[in-house]
Amino acid sequence: MSLLVWFRRDLRVQDNPALWQAVQDARERAQPLTALYVFDPEGVGGWAPGGASRWYLERSLLSLHETLAGLGVPLKVERGRMTDVVRAFAHKVRIEGVYWNRVIEPGQAALDQSIAQSLRQTGVTVEVFDDDCLLMPEQLRRPNGERYKVFTPFWRRALELLEASPATVRLRPVPAPLDRQLQVDPGMLQSAGIAGRAAWQQKLAHHWMPGEHAALDRWARFFLSGIEDYDHTRDLPGLAATSRLSSALHFGELSAARLFAQCAERLAHETSDAARAGIRRYLAELGWREFGRHVLYGRPDSINRSLDRRFDQPGVWKPDPDGRLLRAWQRGETGIALVDAGMRELWETGWMHNRVRMVVASFLTKNLGIHWREGARWFWDTLVDADLASNTLGWQWVAGCGTDAAPYYRIFNPDTQAERFDPDHLYRSRWLPDGLRPTPIADLKTSRERALSRYRMAVKGEAA
């Protein structure tokens, strides 16, 4: 008999509560421990994993495989429906106990309950641990029991709870190795068929090094030398001023609890006003990640439907029957410099600066009038940090139909945004090096007025 730790969005050995307990029990009982990852190509709610995130996932799993081998824990990667694979694997390997960490996504709670019940009926013990959030959704509600719909009171209450129960209680060191050392098998992922072999995917290797060790190194460098300027440089896409850890946080190569705890500890002793402002701003960004998970937990249908149902009325979104406008946006051929630079950065690197994400999203949904789902799906396929909660929250916020959304009349002007946040043309020059600029596919002033008319119809019932 042996034990099993089931990895999902926690591809790390540090601060991993399920792995920590599994290793301790394996040592105490003198039992072998196996790690399992299940790749489900169907995804969640019709959102099959995108190409860029699959590329990142495959390489992150290879890194995890190497690290676990050093701990004496073999990693098995299987393809299929999670319910079927976990049950079958537990039976095949004669598993006595299974350990895993929670994931906050639609359907995951029911999935966990179903798998746990099935395993327990066969005599297998199951231990499930809190993870993926600083505070689990059931821990954070308004005084009247309802879920928060606005970020500021949500984050204020979250900080109060985190002060009372510090994130440090969730931290764990790397487990001590078990008795055996294992060989690393570079081909162990081939049968799972996780990543494709599209040419554009191969470019991502020039920009990313997935895995826990690389993520910890990026975090250490940013925390020591970048976070103190973060408050006033984070909106400047021409500078390397952000942590670029969104993919590491999504796949759990880093624990959000560790980032929060280290920031809180430094904030308690930091004397520099600039550094304190930068740390607070970074903590707020962790808060937005947290908020997205809590919103999605309460409204799982929001991955496909507008949170504000008024925006699902006919006439809010403009038809694009031949897809010409959408394709121009996807290819960075809109004739709007900042939009095109952002879309080309995305295609080349699998990532886009957050300020530019807001601008390109506003242009698609408001100036072009295309439904936010089209943009969300393109980001889902091309972002290495594609995350259902953050992606859904971000697109609905910009489109004006989400919880805590930007007002419908807030429409980003890409040219004004460029003048303000890329005044030296560093960003645009980097991603539009040829200087070519096609004829704009939309007039910013006219399309803005039309968007306001459509949105007034949705929000106020006024005729368009």
Reduced 3-state DSSP string for the chain: CEEEEEECCCCCCCCCHHHHHHHHHHHHHCCCEEEEEEECCCCECCECCCHHHHHHHHHHHHHHHHHHHHHCCCEEEEECCHHHHHHHHHHHCCEEEEEEECCCCCCHHHHHHHHHHHHHHCCCEEEEECCCCCCCHHHCCCCCCCCCCCHHHHHHHHHHHHHHCCHHHHCCCCCCCCCCCCCCCCCCCHHHCCCCCCHHHHHHHHCCCCCHHHHHHHHHHHHHHCHHHHHHHCCCCCCCCCCCCHHHHHCCCCCHHHHHHHHHHHHHHCCCHHHHHHHHHHHHHHHHHHHHHHHHHHCHHHHCCCCCHHHHCCCCCCCCCCCHHHHHHHHCCCCCHHHHHHHHHHHHHCCCCHHHHHHHHHHHHHHCCCCHHHHHHHHHHHCCCCCHHHHHHHHHHHHCCCCCCCCCCCCCCHHHHHHHHCCCCHHHHHHCCCCCCCCCCCCHHHHHHHHHHHHHHHHHCCCC
Domain 309-460 is found in CATH 1.10.579.10: yes
Instruction: Give CATH 1.25.40.80 domain extents, the chain.
Output: 133-170+211-298
Instruction: Give CATH 3.40.50.620 domain extents, the chain.
Output: 2-131
Give the pLDDT confidence score for residue 33 in this predicted structure. 96
Q: How distant, in Å, are the alpha carbons of 159, 164, 275, 276, 285 from that of 269?
A: 18, 18, 11, 9, 21
**Which residues lie across from 47 on neighbouring strands?**
44
Q: What is the mean pLDDT of residues 368-394?
A: 96
370, 398 Cβ separation under 8 angstroms: no
Residue 30 has pLDDT above 50, yes or no: yes
200, 347 Cβ separation under 8 angstroms: yes
Residue 253 has pLDDT above 60, yes or no: yes
pLDDT confidence tier of residue 170, bands split at 50, 70 and 90: confident
289, 134 Cβ separation under 8 angstroms: no
pLDDT confidence tier of residue 15, bands split at 50, 70 and 90: very high
pLDDT confidence tier of residue 201, bands split at 50, 70 and 90: confident
- Report d(CA 140, CA 118) in Å as an integer: 30
Question: Active-site positions?
Answer: 285, 288, 317, 354, 372, 395
CA 31 to chain centre: 35
Give the pLDDT confidence score for residue 436 in this predicted structure. 67
pLDDT confidence tier of residue 193, bands split at 50, 70 and 90: confident
Q: How distant, in Å, are the alpha carbons of 205, 259, 333, 352, 428 from that of 336?
A: 28, 37, 8, 16, 10
pLDDT confidence tier of residue 179, bands split at 50, 70 and 90: confident
290, 104 Cβ separation under 8 angstroms: no
Residue 111 has pLDDT above 70, yes or no: yes
Residue 192 has pLDDT above 90, yes or no: no
pLDDT higher at 303 or 436: 303
Six-digit token string for 69:
């081998």
Instruction: Give CATH 1.10.579.10 domain extents, the chain.
Output: 309-460
CA-based nearest residue to 96, from 112, 119, 66, 116: 119
Q: What is the mean pLDDT of residues 44-56?
A: 89
Give the pLDDT confidence score for residue 405 in this predicted structure. 65
Q: What is the mean pLDDT of residues 216-236?
A: 95
- Report d(CA 67, CA 23) in Å as an integer: 14
The fraction of the chain above a pLDDT of 90, given in percent, is 82
The fraction of the chain above a pLDDT of 70, given in percent, is 98
Residue 101 has pLDDT above 80, yes or no: yes
Angle at 306 (CA atoms; ends 302, 311), nearest 5 degrees = 175
- Report d(CA 306, CA 308) in Å as an integer: 5
Average pLDDT, the chain: 93
Residue 45 has pLDDT above 90, yes or no: no
Domain 2-131 is found in CATH 3.40.50.620: yes
pLDDT confidence tier of residue 164, bands split at 50, 70 and 90: confident
Residue 369 has pLDDT above 70, yes or no: yes
CA-based nearest residue to 109, from 155, 44, 39, 153: 44
Q: What is the mean pLDDT of residues 286-304?
A: 95
Q: What is the mean pLDDT of residues 359-384?
A: 97
Give the architecture-level CATH label for domain 133-170+211-298.
Alpha Horseshoe (1.25)
Give the pLDDT confidence score for residue 44 in this predicted structure. 79
Q: What is the mean pLDDT of residues 123-127?
A: 96
Residue 166 has pLDDT above 80, yes or no: no
Give the pLDDT confidence score for residue 234 in this predicted structure. 96
Residue 464 has pLDDT above 50, yes or no: no
Give the pLDDT confidence score for residue 337 in this predicted structure. 96
